[in-house]
């Protein structure tokens, strides 16, 4: 055989691959992106680089998306998605020679991110976060609407001045309206208030939520005549051996907007109230053999933010019965009716 010459040369597979994490949702203004690692494709002659770019964003977005720590890191966090909507992030892998010339066609993979956005309003009908009503009235809540399928909502009690929060109900005693944006609240006693929270959240991503609170005040101040009531609690039993009898009710003068007044249920009743505006006074000159019904009426006037006033009243009744003698009068009972007396 003759002499032979040959050259050694290396063959490189310069094909590149790009992958990105699956599409996702977030309720925050950031999202973690995962592009594929590049080290397995890299070589000294034809290095590989990767770059994240924003290839889609909401039409109303005017801000700037930043990649942390930088746009050339496969594992980067996209930050600044402050407008709800759809964003697209593309991971592009490129191979170049040492002179910077592109080798082969770059390959890309895209992650679509849905930036969720929720807002909640516990009182969508007004601008106030303090609502007032009178005892005996149905108080209707109006939270921001939800469709109940994609976005759901729930009412909860944050605080209650009248005792256990569990005494507050939504819709009815079984809380059938707890997930309805428009429902009734029950169980706020006269003179008490509750702070209620309306929370809206995505059905398939319940960690993504928004909350709003409203304080609901039952502005009726109870009218209560003092005395030892019977076992049922609906009567005050007392007696007197004079032509006059004392009248005593719980003072409401320290309650915001409240005032009390004693009145005869019928103007034809004989007898006189010494000081009708005092919770502690006397009733004099009642006629023999006549039953007199006296009322202690508490009126509460509360200014409303939208203008005007809310006026609430409550009544307690005291029955005085003449026993037929000039000097003997007997109080046979006090009956309480928070709403009206037939």
Q: Which pLDDT score, from 0 to 100, does residue 327 have?
A: 29
Q: Which whole-number Å values give the CA distances from 92 to 37, 105, 122, in the listed order?
A: 12, 10, 46
Read off the tokens for 163: 């005792």
Q: Which pLDDT score, from 0 to 100, does residue 241 have?
A: 53
Residues 339/302/275/190 CA torsion (nearest 10 deg):
40
Q: Which pLDDT score, from 0 to 100, does residue 129 have?
A: 79
Residues of the chain short of pLDDT 50, as ranges, are 9-11, 323-342
Q: Which whole-number Å values give the CA distances from 158 to 32, 39, 163, 197, 202, in the listed order?
A: 34, 54, 12, 6, 21
Q: Which pLDDT score, from 0 to 100, does residue 163 have?
A: 92
State the sign of the Cα–Cα–Cα–Cα dihedral 132, 138, 141, 145: negative
Distance in angstroms (rounded) separating the CA atoms of residues 144 and 198: 8
Q: Which pLDDT score, from 0 to 100, does residue 340 have?
A: 31
Q: Which pLDDT score, from 0 to 100, does residue 322 have?
A: 56
Q: Which pLDDT score, from 0 to 100, does residue 4 have?
A: 62
**The model's pTM:** 0.70
Helix H or strand E segment including 290: none
Q: Which pLDDT score, from 0 to 100, does residue 236 have?
A: 53
Whether the Cβ atoms of residue 16 and residue 46 lie closer than 8 Å to each other = no
Give 41's contacts (C-beta < 8 A, 6+ positions apart). Answer: 16, 17, 48, 93, 95
């Amino acid at each position: 055989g003759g002499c032979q010459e040959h050259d050694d040369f290396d063959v490189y597979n310069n094909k590149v691959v790009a992958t990105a994490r699956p599409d996702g949702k977030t309720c925050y203004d950031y999202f973690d992106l995962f592009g594929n690692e590049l080290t397995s494709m890299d070589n000294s002659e034809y290095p590989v680089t990767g770059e994240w770019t924003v290839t889609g964003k909401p039409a109303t977005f005017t801000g700037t998306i930043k990649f942390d720590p930088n746009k050339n890191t496969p594992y980067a966090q996209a930050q600044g998605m402050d407008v709800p909507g759809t964003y697209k992030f593309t991971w592009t892998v490129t191979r170049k020679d040492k002179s910077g010339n592109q080798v082969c066609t770059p390959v890309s993979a895209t992650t679509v991110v849905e930036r969720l956005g929720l807002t909640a309003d516990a009182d969508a009908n007004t601008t106030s976060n303090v609502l007032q009503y009178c005892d005996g009235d149905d108080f209707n809540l109006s939270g921001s609407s939800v469709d109940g399928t994609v976005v759901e909502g729930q009412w909860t009690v944050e605080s209650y001045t009248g005792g256990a929060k569990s005494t507050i109900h939504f819709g009815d005693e079984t809380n059938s309206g707890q997930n309805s944006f428009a429902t009734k609240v029950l169980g706020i006693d006269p003179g008490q208030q509750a702070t209620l929270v309306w929370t809206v959240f995505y059905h398939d991503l319940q960690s993504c939520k928004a909350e709003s609170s409203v304080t609901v005040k039952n502005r009726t101040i109870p009218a209560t005549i003092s005395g030892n009531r019977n076992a049922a609690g609906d009567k005050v039993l007392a007696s007197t051996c004079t032509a006059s009898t004392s009248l005593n009710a719980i003072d409401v003068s320290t309650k915001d907007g409240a005032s009390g007044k004693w009145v005869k249920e019928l103007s034809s009743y004989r007898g006189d109230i010494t000081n009708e505006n005092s919770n502690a006074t006397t009733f004099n000159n009642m006629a023999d053999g006549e039953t007199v019904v006296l009322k202690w009426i508490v009126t509460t006037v509360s200014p409303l933010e939208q203008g005007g006033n809310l006026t609430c009243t409550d009544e307690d009744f005291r029955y005085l019965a003449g026993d037929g003698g000039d000097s003997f009068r007997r109080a046979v009972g006090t009956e309480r009716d928070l709403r009206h007396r037939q």
